[in-house]
A and B are shown apart, each in its own frame.
Chain A
C-alpha cells in the first residue's frame, strides 16, 4: 500500500473519485473482456468502486488502483453468479469460465479499450446506436448527457443503447480488435463514428447555437486514444482534420453567434497550438501510405491554416488535393468543394460552370450549400437576379438559425445593391 492505513477519509474518497474519472472506462473495458457481457461488466464496475469506497479509507489507496478494481470487479461478479446459481439451480453460468485478468496493468489490458471501441462501432449495429454506445461506454457520458447533446429524448436514446447491447449479445459480436485483413474497413467504421460525434458538436445539424463544445472535445479525445493505441495514417488524418477545424472555433462565429466564412475570419483568433499539432500530424500521416480521405481533407485544411489570408491561399494546391480526394472518395459534395477552389484559382466564372453542371445532375438539388455556393458565385459575377433566387433556395433548405441569418444578410445586401 502506498499510503498509511490512517489516511484521511476525505483524501481516500477524493482518490476514489479521481480514479473513477481517469480509470473507470479502462476498468470497464477489461471487465467486459473478462465477463463477456456489457451489463455484467457495468454491475461489476459499480461493485468494484463501491468496495473501493469502503476499503480505501480504511486500508489506504492501493499501489495499482486499476488492477485492484479489475480484480475486485471480477470477484464481485463471481460472487454474484454463485449467489444466483444457488437460487436458480438451472442457471448455466459457470464461474470457472471467467478468466483471470492476467497481466496487471500492461499488455492485453491496454488493448481492452480498443476492443471496446471496435465493438461499440461494429457495423452490425445501426449507425445511431454506434454513436450512442460509444459515447456512453467508451467516453462515460450518461444517457441524459448524450440525449441533451443530440437534442433527443432520454428514453429514445436509452432504448437505442439497450437494443445495441442485445444485438451484441444475440449476434455474439466478438470482443476483439479486428484481424489485419479486416482492420481497414473496421477502422473506417470507428473513424466515421468519431467524425459524426465531432460534426454534431461542431456544426449542430439543427438548433439555435452553432457549436456544442462537449461533443467535439469528446471526439478529439477519442481520436487521440485511437491514434495512441493504433497509429494508422487515417486515424492520424482524422485527428489532424478535427484539430484544424477546432483551431478556428473562436473565429467561425461572431459576437452574435453568426457564421463567419473562412475567407472573412480573423485569422489571429485561430488557435496556433492546435494548428501546429494538426499540421505535424498531417505531415506524419501523408507520406505513410497512399493517403486516405481523412488525411487528404486534413491536408486541405492545413493549406488554409498556413495562409495569411484568403487571397494568399495556395488554391492550386487545394484544387490538386481535391483531385486526389475525388479519385479515392468521389462524391458530389467533394466536387462542389473542388468547384469552389477552382473559382478561387481561376475566377468565379470557371467555378460557376462547374457548380451549375453539378446542380443539373440533380444529386445536390436539396443540399443548401450547393445553392449558397451558386448564389455567391453569381453575386461575384454581378448576376444579381440569379444570386437572389439561389440564396432563396438555400434558405428554404437551411434548418440552422445562424446559417439562416447569414443567408438572409446576403440577400438583404443584394437588395441594397439593386
Chain B
C-alpha cells in the first residue's frame, strides 16, 4: 500500500534560525537515506512556505486566483513523503521517524487504489 505522509509544523525551514534549520536538514538527509535503503521510499519533496502559495478556483469557466493557502491554520504543510508500506501500522512506524514529527505533526493518508481512481488517473495504461 502507498501512504502519503504530510508534514505540518508551526515553523517551516525558511522561518527557522540557520543553525536550527541546518540540523533539521541533516536529520532529513539521514531519514531519507534510511528509507531509501529500506525500500519504503517512493518520493518526497519539501514545499516552499505558504507565503508562496496561490490558490485557484474555476467558477463559471473563469479562473480566479488568490494569495496564500486556502485555509488558515497554525500548522503549515511543509513537505511530504510518499512511502510504500505493508499496512497502516508500518506506515505509522516509518512516519514516526520523520524529523518533522518531533516538531510538528505528520498526517498519514492512504493513497486510493480503487479501480475507478486507477482508471481515471490512467495508471492502468501508464504503470
Q: Which residues of A contact B (CB under 8 A)?
A: 39, 42-43, 46-47, 50, 87, 136, 142-145, 154-155, 157-158, 161-162
Contacts and interface: CB of A to CB of B under 8 A. Distances in A.
Interface residues of B, number: 13
Contacts of B30: 87
A100 B28 CA distance: 32
Contact of B90 (A42, A145, A157): A42
Given A39-B93, A42-B93, A87-B30, A154 B38 contact: no
Given A42-B93, A43-B93, A143 B88 contact: yes
B43 to A, nearest CB: 19
Contact of A142 (B26, B39, B87): B87
11 contacts: A39-B93, A46-B38, A46-B90, A50-B38, A50-B39, A136-B89, A142-B86, A143-B87, A143-B88, A155-B88, A162-B89
B118 interface: no
Interface in B26-70: 26, 30, 38-39
A142 B86 CA distance: 7
Contacts of A142: 86-88
A interface, over-half SS: helix
Closest 3 CB pairs of A and B: A142-B87, A143-B87, A158-B88
B13 to A, nearest CB: 19
B56 to A, nearest CB: 31
Contacts of B92: 158, 162
A57 to B, nearest CB: 15
B93 to A, nearest CB: 5
B87 A144 contact: yes
B interface, over-half SS: helix
B112 interface: no
Given A46-B38, A47-B38, A154 B88 contact: yes
Nearest to B1: A144
Nearest to B39: A50
Contacts of B39: 46, 50
Interface of B: 1, 26, 30, 38-39, 86-90, 92-93, 110
Contacts of B88: 142-144, 154-155, 157-158
Contacts of B90: 42, 46
Given A42-B93, A136-B87, A144-B88, 11 more contacts: A42-B90, A43-B93, A46-B39, A46-B90, A87-B26, A87-B30, A136-B89, A143-B88, A154-B110, A158-B88, A162-B92
A39 B92 CA distance: 10
Contacts of B87: 136, 142-145
Contacts of A136: 87, 89
Contacts of B93: 39, 42-43
Contacts of A39: 93
A50 B35 CA distance: 12
Contacts of A154: 88, 110
B115 to A, nearest CB: 17
Nearest to A133: B89
B70 to A, nearest CB: 24
Nearest to B94: A43
Contacts of A158: 88-89, 92
B38 A143 contact: no
A42 B38 CA distance: 12
B119 to A, nearest CB: 22
Contacts of B26: 87
A407 B55 CA distance: 58
Contacts of B89: 136, 143, 158, 161-162
Nearest to A165: B89
Contacts of A46: 38-39, 90
Nearest to B33: A83
Contacts of B38: 43, 46-47, 50
B54 to A, nearest CB: 31
A143 B93 CA distance: 13
A43 to B, nearest CB: 7
Nearest to A40: B93
A134 to B, nearest CB: 14
Nearest to B93: A39
Contacts of A47: 38
A349 B90 CA distance: 58
Nearest to A141: B87
Contacts of B86: 142
A50 B1 CA distance: 17
A402 B50 CA distance: 54
Contacts of A157: 88
Nearest to B27: A87
Nearest to A136: B89
A155 B88 CA distance: 8
A210 to B, nearest CB: 27
